[in-house]
Every structure is written in structure tokens, then in C-alpha cells.
Amino acid sequence: MEILLSINWILLLASLMVAATPILLAATGELVVEKAGVLNLGVEGMMIFGAIAGFAVGVETQAPLLGFVTAAVAGAALSMLFGFITQVLLSNQVATGLALTLFGLGLSALVGQGYVGIKAPILPDWNVPLLSQIPVVGPILFRHDLVLYFSIALVAATWAFLKYSRAGLILRAVGESHSAAHALGYKVVRIRLLAIAFGGACAGMGGAYISLVRVPQWTEGMTAGAGWIALAIVVFASWKPWRVLLGAYLFGGIAVLQLNLQAAGLKVPVEILSMSPYLITILVLVIISADRSRAALGAPAALGRVFHASE
């Protein structure tokens, strides 16, 4: 009990949002990709490449926001490699996604050699006028950086896009039945490539949030499975944007809580605390999948299938 009392809960809830943002960005991007019927398992690779690309540009220009833009471009560029091989050369999406992760890890390690041990430029917090002065709620919700606010706005925009816009409807149609969408005259491959690029840009920015804000420095393999957790959160969310937000924040809460418990000196081996986010992600996946009717409800019907127009 004393340990729980020694934790500053306001600070914890505020840092929860910071811890969740990389996964929130990446998972939102992947949600759109999967809604278009494509399973890109390369999220981890795109995140880590975004992390180093954003960090390098952020350090060189001392402009963190420029770093985020670069990370988005870098992630999208890397995702186009996946897009070309799966959509034009019709390869297996699972294998190609894995290749993208392995490739991204190698590429980022190579690019990042000169950047180990450097501190990132600080992305300033923007205190929302008036709202940030509210006691308790203010420090938790309204004293963050612009990218964090952007990530929440992105969830809202994705939700509105998929639910209310015509383009969103077409994207979902492509994900449910590519043959039907093709027969209606929609460019399946082009739509999917756009979705993949969007997913890559989001993953890249998520990675940059780790290297520029959360940590903030560059170390090899620093995403440490965040991309895979993002993939799991899309399943957890049953492919619904607001539930992605919920899932990411739940995960962020666990990640921050275990760090706080480590710092507070809980009498449990550090390794057990460090493995807890992964174990809880697995547990959540099991609970969601156990309810088969619900798990199947959200999954796009054409997810992971190869589309060849002549069929």
C-alpha cells in the first residue's frame, strides 16, 4: 500500500498519455491499412526507421517538428517497398511484412551509428489556455506537446473518415471484397497503396515520438516490440478507431505503472515488471479472441488476401 501511495498519480496519468502515443499513432495507421484488406506486419520496422530518421533530422536541424515530418515521409517510403512487393508483385503479406521488419531494424541500426548518446532537441509542451489551469485535470490532459494532441485528433479524423466519408466507404469496400470493389470500377491496388503509405507515415511518426519525446535519445532496437503491440491493439479494438485509443491508453498505463513500481522499489524482480506489458497484451488478445462472435465482427473479410485483377 505504501508503494502505491508513494507514486504521484497525477504525474503518472500525464506520462501514461506520453507512453501511449507511439502505439496510438502506429495502431491508427495500421487500422486503416487493415480496413483496406492489407495485413502489414512490418509496423515494427517502419517505427524504428521513423525513430532514427526523425531523430537524425531533429538533431541536425534542432527542429523536432521537422523531425516528425521526416519520420512520416521515411515511414511512408519504407511502406511503399512493402506495397510494391505485395500489391504489384503479389507476394505473401505475412512474409513480406516480416521482411520489412527485419530490413527496417538493419537499416535503422546502420543509419543510426553516428547518433548514439546524443540528446534529442526538446519538443516544448503547449499548455492549453485556461484548461491547463484546472486542478488535477489540467496537468493530466492539457499540458502536452503538439504531436500528442495531433495523435488524438488523428483518431477522431480516422473515425470520421471511415464512418462518414465516401472515400472511407470505398476503402472499407476494398477491404471487405476486393473483387466486388474491382467490378464496381474502383482501383483496388491504388487505394491499398494509399492506405499502406498512410500506415507507414503513422508508424514512422510513432517511432519518432519514442526517440524524440519519450526516451529521448537513440539506441538500437529502441522500439522494443511497440510495433507488435500496436498490431495487437488493432485486434483488441475490433478495428474501431476509438477502441484503439482505449487500448493504447490501457497499454500506456501498464507500461508507466510498471516503471513507477520499479522506481518505487517494489519487492518483485525488475524483469517480471518489464515483461508485464507483453504478458498483459497477450492476455487481452486471448480475452478478445475467446469471444469469437465479436472478434470476427470487425475483421475485414479480405484481410491478407492477394488481389489479382484477372480473376
Scanning residues 211 to 250, which ones bind other proteins (CB under 8 A)? Answer: 220, 224-225, 228-229, 231-232, 235
Told to check if 310 binds other proteins by CB under 8 A, we report yes
Q: For residue 196, state whether it binds other proteins (rule: CB under 8 A).
A: no
Distance, in Å, from the CA atom of 175 to the CA atom of 195, rounded to the nearest integer, reads: 11
Q: Does 11 bind other proteins (CB under 8 A)?
A: no
Binds other proteins (CB under 8 A): choice among 3, 110, 118, 180? 110
Minimal distance, residue 292 CB to other proteins, in Å: 6
From the list 151, 181, 185, the residue with the least C-alpha distance to 25 is 151
Examine residue 99 and tell whether it contacts other proteins (CB under 8 A).
yes
By CB under 8 A, tell whether 281 contacts other proteins.
yes
Identify the DSSP state of 142.
S
Query: Residue 119 or residue 308: which is nearer to other proteins going by CB?
Result: 308
C-alpha cell at 106: 538493419
Q: Measure the CA–CA gap between 290 and 54, rounded to whole angstroms.
A: 39
Partners of 304 in the β-ladder: none
Whole-number Cα distances in Å, 40 to 87, 148, 183, 226? 12, 24, 25, 14
* Least distance in angstroms from the C-beta of 24 to other proteins: 18
Q: Which three cell numbers stand for residue 173?
A: 469496400
Task: Please report, for residues 7, 89, 265, 297, the alpha-carbon distance to residue 300 in angstroms, rounded to integers and kept in the order given.
Answer: 42, 22, 45, 8
- Chosen residue from 295, 298, 303, 305 binding other proteins by CB under 8 A: 295
Q: Which one, 30 or 145, has the nearer CB to other proteins?
A: 30
Query: Which amino acid appears at position 145 of this protein?
Result: D
Q: Does 109 bind other proteins (CB under 8 A)?
A: yes
CB 232 within 8 A of CB 284: yes
Surface-to-core class of residue 166, CB atoms within 10 Å of its CB (0-12 exposed, 13-18 middle, 19+ buried): exposed
What is the nearest approach in angstroms of other proteins to the Cβ of residue 198? 21
CB 247 within 8 A of CB 30: no
We find the least distance from the C-beta atom of residue 243 to other proteins, in angstroms, to be: 17
Which x/- pattern over 16-55 shows residues binding other proteins (rule: CB under 8 A)? Answer: -------------------------x--------------
List residues binding other proteins (CB under 8 A).
41, 81, 85, 89-92, 94-96, 98-100, 102-107, 109-110, 113, 220, 224-225, 228-229, 231-232, 235, 269, 271-272, 274-275, 278-279, 281-282, 285-286, 289-290, 292, 295, 308, 310-311
